[in-house]
Structure 1
Amino acid sequence: MPLPKIGVVLARTGRLSPLGVPLEFVATARPWPVEVLLRDTGSTPAGARAAVRSAVGAGARVVVTLGGTTTLPAVVDACAEREVPCVSTTLPWQVFHHTRRWPGTAFHFCWGVDDIASVFADLWERLGAARTVGCVWNDGPQGGALRRWFAPVATARGHRLVDLPYRESSGVVPAVGDVEVVTSAATAADLAEVVRARRPRLVTCSRWLTYPFGVARHGLARVATIVSWTPEHEHVGRGGRTPRDLARAYEDATGSVWLQPLGLAHALFEVAVHALGEADASTPVTEVLSRTRLATVAGVLDWTRGPVPGVATLPLAGGQWRGGPRPSLAVVDNRRAPLVPVSGELVVQCRTSER
């Protein structure tokens, strides 16, 4: 009997190609009881749709993908048009749900924009209550999401947010003024420009600053970020594999430091393999996914609880980068994700007048 096929739609080329690295490793570095069909998006929505058409045309019964803001919805939309289920991750669930036109075939797991706000506010409050925070938010989808779902959580806790909009990668970034705290979802290059002139006491940044390569390239040690997965998380996935096992295998094979999306990429496969294994002539894959509650290397994923149909959530911890040619990520606050141990203290920058 031929093996069932999984379509893996990922960015192998283009600006989003770093997102594709952990997913391609997971797809190819270990045996799965499926046939894997790798398809490149080229980091564009049109490429994402073409990749889905190719994978489904070759017989994929389920498609998996992760990131980015425009390519992930294009993948899910193309899957819905062909009535093939899609399992996705790394896009905050409100952003996924807000643009979703595909009920019934789309299954997503991630944290929320409100979760990012809660974790970052926890860190800001190490400096004292009611901070004034400079918000370097772009004029694109990321900035829009932060203004809609992040800002209300932060302001409800008493923080004053100063919105500093800018156009991403334009070479022109806003001056942050005399604020002690800056928050952002900028690229590493843009964030480095923002903080170069006057170093805030604390910088919190999600999105690309969850990856180590931008930290090393642009000297952004001490930037705090969200933590969704580390080798120290106390999870056990398919076949007894642990986060530490997965991270070690990745580092041995690539010579690069582990990446947070590595655990989420592995969970995509665990979920897809589970669904194909449980489905039969009377129970389609979509029905299996809709009632799935599965322990994975990224944690327990539960599509039976919401917060909305088709979405399972992941908790976040707070982390901070440590410098060096191979930056390391220390977990500095785990109150919202107790299954990861704290591995360091939050370090804040002294202001010039304090030196």
Structure 2
Amino acid sequence: MTMNRRHLIQGAAALAAAGTVPRVFAADVVKIGYVSPQTGPLAPFGEADKWVIEQMKAAFKDGLTIGGRKHEVQIVLKDSQSNPNRAGEVANDLILKDKVALMLTAGTPETANPVSDACELNEIPCVSSVVPWQPWFFGRKGDPAKGFAWTYHLFWGLEDVIANFTNGWKSVATNKKVGGLFPNDGDGNAWGDKELGFPKPLAGMGYSLTDPGRFQNGTQDFSAQIAAFKKDGVEIVTGVVIPPDAKTFLTQARQQGFKPKVITLGKALLFPGAIEALGDLGHGLTTEVWWTPSHPFASSLTRQSAKALADAYESGTGKQWTQPIGFAHALFEVASNALSRSKSLKAGDVRDAVAATSLDTVVGPVKWGGPGPMKNVSKTPLVLGQWVKGTGKRKVELVVVNNEAAKNIPTGGTLSLIA
């Protein structure tokens, strides 16, 4: 028996020396985990992810060289179901069962925060996006003096959204009376926070804010908020709400005779599908713009311009481009770049490579430990957009109407009051 085994080993060695034994490429696999809301009320944030992942499979078809060895790349997508508890559960599955080398996550604090927390706890490197940095950092009890050890973030901050919203409001004639819609969730509590959010800077600019208090997502009756806004003569409405709540509020505002001159909402008004669902209520609404086909950036991975990436998405899916495409793509740019620079697949080496990132991506430059507000935060540019009636096949179009905060991003028009 021993002789047979020895002969077998010798024979295999001889075959290998002769080059007739195929190399088993799959033996060296690197897994990248990705958690986003594929279902539930936040699903529009994850709508482009499967398309982006298919694009990445093509980009990674020849594998990645990590620490001098070629690795097959596997991307494992998990659905947070728009639920923070579920997001944490699937993140733990990816870490403990799938043994991912690097985690990516995006799509509001309800997904990105619990995933980031799971990675910090399990000492696995994580890159997150599509959450203003304050709810991501302070919402996770971050200490500015220490930062986080394993989790890194790329996006803009509340200071940027406040600057863009108010830049737009200053360009039109209003009485400077603002009504706030801030729900009881990670974003709403941050945006409405007296120190970190809107109240303090608005007061400093001479705006008065009517904040009727927190409400639960999925609220069916905004009569109390509308009554408070009417009582105070509000002409500008702002806040950060999920798409179904925006539709409920806007419909009830019209029914109850409340007609503000400007409505600028975060989150709810980002997606063409949500605006189309509003019908004529959607025309003239304004929102933050994180990425468009006209952004002057290109992918470090595929070399596509922002426009080429958006065009590829539209031709591949038959759907209108949507803002998260750029950030889902950029997360994989960072992942590819960091893994290819990592000394090995040890978690600490991958984390160190992420931390040392300095990369021009399709959403702009990404660099940690530099001029960002925290060592774990890399800021991306932000402008203001307004939804207008579309031309041709498109029912609605998002036009950049103010770029004072990021002059390198071109405008397509100026802010108009709601008709």
CA distance in 2, matches of 1:285, 1:268: 15
Contact 2:128/2:331, CA 8 A, preserved across alignment: yes
CA distance in 1, matches of 2:185, 2:92: 28
Give the aligned partner of residue 297 of structure 1.
Answer: 362
Bigger radius of gyration, 1 or 2? 2
Range with bigger deviation, 162-171 or 207-216? 162-171
Q: Which ranges of structure 1 fall in alignment gaps of 5 or more residues?
A: 351-355
Kindly report which structure 2 residues correspond to 1:231-246, keeping only aligned pairs within 5 A, or say none. Answer: 231-238=293-300, 239-246=302-309
Contact 1:136/1:186, CA 8 A, preserved across alignment: yes
| Partner residue of 1:23 out of 49, 58, 68 | 49
Contact 2:34/2:77, CA 8 A, preserved across alignment: yes
Kindly report which structure 2 residues correspond to 1:138-217, keeping only aligned pairs within 5 A, or say none. Answer: 138-148=183-193, 149-165=197-213, 167=215, 168-173=217-222, 174-175=225-226, 176-177=229-230, 178-187=233-242, 188-193=246-251, 195-196=253-254, 197-217=257-277
With the length of structure 2 as denominator, give the TM-score of the two structures. Answer: 0.79
| Partner residue of 2:125 out of 82, 85, 110 | 85
Give the aligned partner of residue 168 of structure 2.
Answer: 123
Aligned length: 350
- Across the aligned residues of Structure 1 and Structure 2, the Cα RMSD in angstroms comes to 1.9
CA distance in 2, matches of 1:212, 1:28: 22
Offset, 1:117: 0.9
CA distance in 1, matches of 2:408, 2:51: 25
CA distance in 2, matches of 1:61, 1:109: 19
- Matched residue of 1:115: which SS? helix
Given residue 93 of structure 2, which amino acid in structure 1 is its aligned partner? S
- Matched residue of 1:53: which SS? helix
Contact 2:35/2:79, CA 8 A, preserved across alignment: yes
CA distance in 1, matches of 2:99, 2:186: 33
CA distance in 2, matches of 1:121, 1:259: 24
- Matched residue of 1:27: which SS? helix
- Matched residue of 1:99: which SS? helix
CA distance in 2, matches of 1:186, 1:17: 14
Give the aligned partner of residue 328 of structure 1.
Answer: 397
CA distance in 1, matches of 2:117, 2:205: 37
Give the aligned partner of residue 99 of structure 1.
Answer: 139
Kindly report which structure 2 residues correspond to 1:130-141, keeping only aligned pairs within 5 A, or say none. Answer: 131-141=176-186
- Matched residue of 1:127: which SS? coil
- Matched residue of 2:295: which SS? coil
Residues 49 and 137 of structure 1: CA distance in aligned 2, closer, same or farther (over 3 Å): closer
With the length of structure 1 as denominator, give the TM-score of the two structures. Answer: 0.93
Contact 1:117/1:150, CA 8 A, preserved across alignment: yes
Kindly report which structure 2 residues correspond to 1:336-347, keeping only aligned pairs within 5 A, or say none. Answer: 336-347=405-416
Offset, 1:110: 1.0
Residues 202 and 26 of structure 1: CA distance in aligned 2, closer, same or farther (over 3 Å): same
- Matched residue of 2:416: which SS? coil
CA distance in 1, matches of 2:112, 2:100: 17
Contact 1:227/1:316, CA 8 A, preserved across alignment: yes
- Matched residue of 1:328: which SS? strand
Offset, 1:276: 0.6
- Matched residue of 2:365: which SS? strand
| Partner residue of 2:110 out of 70, 75, 95 | 70
Contact 1:293/1:304, CA 8 A, preserved across alignment: no
Offset, 1:47: 1.8
| Partner residue of 2:59 out of 32, 53, 60 | 32
- Matched residue of 2:269: which SS? helix
Offset, 1:53: 2.5
| Partner residue of 1:247 out of 310, 313, 336 | 310
CA distance in 2, matches of 1:59, 1:32: 22
Offset, 1:82: 2.1
Contact 1:236/1:297, CA 8 A, preserved across alignment: yes
CA distance in 2, matches of 1:136, 1:82: 36
CA distance in 2, matches of 1:186, 1:100: 20
CA distance in 1, matches of 2:134, 2:283: 29
Range with bigger deviation, 10-19 or 113-122? 10-19
Offset, 1:137: 2.1
Q: Which ranges of structure 2 fall in alignment gaps of 5 or more residues?
A: 1-24, 61-72, 143-147
| Partner residue of 1:285 out of 326, 331, 350 | 350
Contact 1:4/1:276, CA 8 A, preserved across alignment: no
Given residue 169 of structure 2, which amino acid in structure 1 is its aligned partner? W
CA distance in 2, matches of 1:86, 1:125: 39
Contact 1:133/1:161, CA 8 A, preserved across alignment: yes
Identity %: 31
